[in-house]
Amino acid sequence: MDLLSNLSLGFATAATPWNLLFCLIGVILGTLIGVLPGIGATATIAMLLPITFELEPVSSLIMLAGIYYGAQYGGSTTAILINMPGESSSAVTALDGYQMARRGKAGTALAVAALGSFFAGTVATVLVAIFAPPLTAVALKFGSAEYFSLMVLGLVSAVALAHGSFLKALAMVVLGLLLGLVGTDIYTGDPRFTLGRPELADGLSFVGLAVGIFGIAEILRNLEGGEGDRTILGQSLGGLWPSRADLRKMVGPMLRGTALGSALGVLPGGGAVLAAFGSYTIEKRLSRNPEEFGTGAIAGVAGPESANNAGAQTSFIPLLTLGIPANPVMALMVGAMIIQGIVPGPNVATEQPDLFWGIIASMWIGNLMLIVLNLPLIGIWVRLLKVPYHVLFPIIIAFSSIGVYSVKGNAFDLFAVAFFGLLGYLFLKLRCEPAPLLLGFVLGPLLEENLRRAMILGRGDPSVFLTRPISAGLLLLTAAVLVVMLLPRVRRKREEVFVEGD
């Protein structure tokens, strides 16, 4: 009964005209940046963080959430029509979606992707609504030791699930933790690593770092590659509704992809991306005709699209219940909450239930908006693909700079954007994934605070982390993840999963 009353509160909050407007803006903007290759949800949300400072907390978070799962929809459009994934999680969709488009079935491929995404998004929203309250109740019993152990587990899992070298991902997490230490000591008030600059007394600008690492660096990489070959297939999309035979072929992959994505989305790291790659691998191995994969198999579109959308939405579970980000976008959502004066964590559900349940209800409304809007607007998205990069990117950089400056009115933040943009570009050239760095940067101060608080309460005895059952269990799980990831066979399998989508 509580679930129904909570959902009723959520829909009442999300269905106000103002919040519906921002939900619509979010999903349309998300689809737009998903369609345009080379921008991505992470970069867009990073660049829009300053705007949320002027909005109501519920409206701003509903809009940012809409951008995130809207981008999962939009990324499939470019993957299918021009073999260029707008989102990294759509890379697998391109393998068979583009081949379907080449065979004159672009409309069917787009419809399969949209239907699979809507189904997965609906199921994932229900799972968030069901599992969020009990997890919140458990989280309220956590002390400093438990939170420290949980964050250690999160960071180790982020390294384990990161795309690319294990050692590089570990190095990026450590660098993120070190950057998070810049500022004023939380207990003594002494400045740390500020280089004598008063602008760094409050720490590095989260907005500046995020915009630089994800926004500017991604733009520099795309400009380096030139305009690229953007031959668009499916100018005449034909019938959009799949045939009965197509529907039968997509049901199984859609169900399996939704289940896999819902489970992996909760894990720290690249849950949605890993879910898409994993779904494709599973469908290929379960298929009676595996040779069809790579030539236009419907299962190769339905499974990964369902998996990445389910993963995108269940990643809200650790954010809303524990205040722990599961991926870079959720880390940015934490930043948006802090900008609004909200302390992420289990208290949000009890102190601001309209915000908590409004976000959950808006996910279903946003998914419905996407399925209604996306297919009729395909013609517009196709035309937008013709916008040249050299026109698009200067506009994005200009608006990003204005937004970053508007947060504090501090020109130093613009230098931070430029610095982290160049640093992010260097990371991309070195094949270092920046996502673990952002997670380390966001969790670093929280990790330090809970470590020091637990040590003070334990009178300096580090055994406090092992004598508390939940904390000890989380640390044992962390050790198990490390041991498993160091096994040669597991490392090979991990690499194979990602290579499937490369």
Q: What is the rounded CA–CA span in Å between residue 205 and residue 51?
A: 15
pLDDT of residue 500 exceeding 50: no
pLDDT of residue 379 exceeding 60: yes
Residue 494 vs residues 153, 314, 443, 487: alpha-carbon distances, Å: 19, 22, 25, 11
pLDDT of residue 102: 77
Structure tokens at 309: 């959308």
pLDDT of residue 166 exceeding 80: no
Instruction: Give the mean model confidence (pLDDT) for residues 70-88.
Output: 70
pLDDT of residue 159: 74
Under the banding of pLDDT at 50, 70 and 90, the label for residue 237 is low
The share of the chain scoring above pLDDT 70, in percent, equals 83
Q: What is the rounded CA–CA span in Å between residue 455 and residue 364?
A: 43
With a CB cutoff of 8 Å and minimum separation 6, the contacts of 214 are 40, 42, 43, 46, 328, 424, 434, 438
pLDDT of residue 89: 64
pTM exceeding 0.85: no
Q: What is the rounded CA–CA span in Å between residue 97 and residue 112?
A: 9
The label of the residue with tokens 């707008």 reads 86
Q: What angle in degrees, to the nearest 10, is found between the helix axes of 412-429 and 217-224? A: 50
pLDDT of residue 111 exceeding 70: yes
Q: Evaluate whether 125 touches 363 at the Cβ level (below 8 Å).
A: yes
pLDDT of residue 22 exceeding 80: yes
pLDDT of residue 216: 80
Instruction: Please tell me which residue, 2 or 271, carries the higher pLDDT value.
Output: 2
Q: What is the rounded CA–CA span in Å between residue 408 and residue 352?
A: 26
Q: What is the pLDDT of residues 309-367, one digit of tens each?
A: 888 888 888 877 777 777 777 878 887 887 777 877 777 877 888 888 888 888 888 88
Q: Evaluate whether 310 touches 124 at the Cβ level (below 8 Å).
A: yes
Instruction: Give the mean model confidence (pLDDT) for residues 251-273.
Output: 77
Structure tokens at 215: 């926004």
Cβ count within 10 A of residue 453: 17
pLDDT of residue 455 exceeding 80: yes
Instruction: Give the mean model confidence (pLDDT) for residues 100-121.
Output: 80
Per-domain boundaries in the chain: 2-501
Instruction: Please tell me which residue, 332 or 498, carries the higher pLDDT value.
Output: 332
Q: Evaluate whether 471 touches 465 at the Cβ level (below 8 Å).
A: yes
Instruction: Give the mean model confidence (pLDDT) for residues 420-433.
Output: 86
What Rg, from alpha-carbon coordinates, does the chain have? 22
Q: What is the pLDDT of residues 51-78, one digit of tens each?
A: 777 788 888 888 888 888 787 777 777 7
Q: What is the pLDDT of residues 209-234, one digit of tens each?
A: 877 887 788 778 777 765 555 555 54
Q: Strand, helix or coil at 191?
A: strand
pLDDT of residue 435 exceeding 80: no
Phi and psi, residue 269, nearest 5°: 115, -145
pLDDT of residue 501: 45
* Cα 41 to chain centroid, rounded: 7
Residue 446 vs residues 145, 325, 454: alpha-carbon distances, Å: 12, 12, 12
With a CB cutoff of 8 Å and minimum separation 6, the contacts of 114 are 73, 76, 370, 371, 374, 375
pLDDT of residue 502 exceeding 50: no
Structure tokens at 59: 């409206």
Q: Which amino acid is at 383?
A: R
pLDDT of residue 389: 67
Q: What is the pLDDT of residues 118-157, one digit of tens each?
A: 888 888 888 888 877 787 777 777 788 888 888 888 788 7
pLDDT of residue 14 exceeding 80: yes
Phi and psi, residue 125, nearest 5°: -65, -40
Under the banding of pLDDT at 50, 70 and 90, the label for residue 488 is low
pLDDT of residue 491 exceeding 70: no
DSSP 224: H
Instruction: Give the mean model confidence (pLDDT) for residues 485-491.
Output: 64
CA dihedral 47, 50, 55, 57 (to 10 degrees): 80
Q: Nearest-CA neighbor of 19 among 464, 361, 491?
A: 361
For 371-499, strand residue ranges (E) read none
pLDDT of residue 29: 84
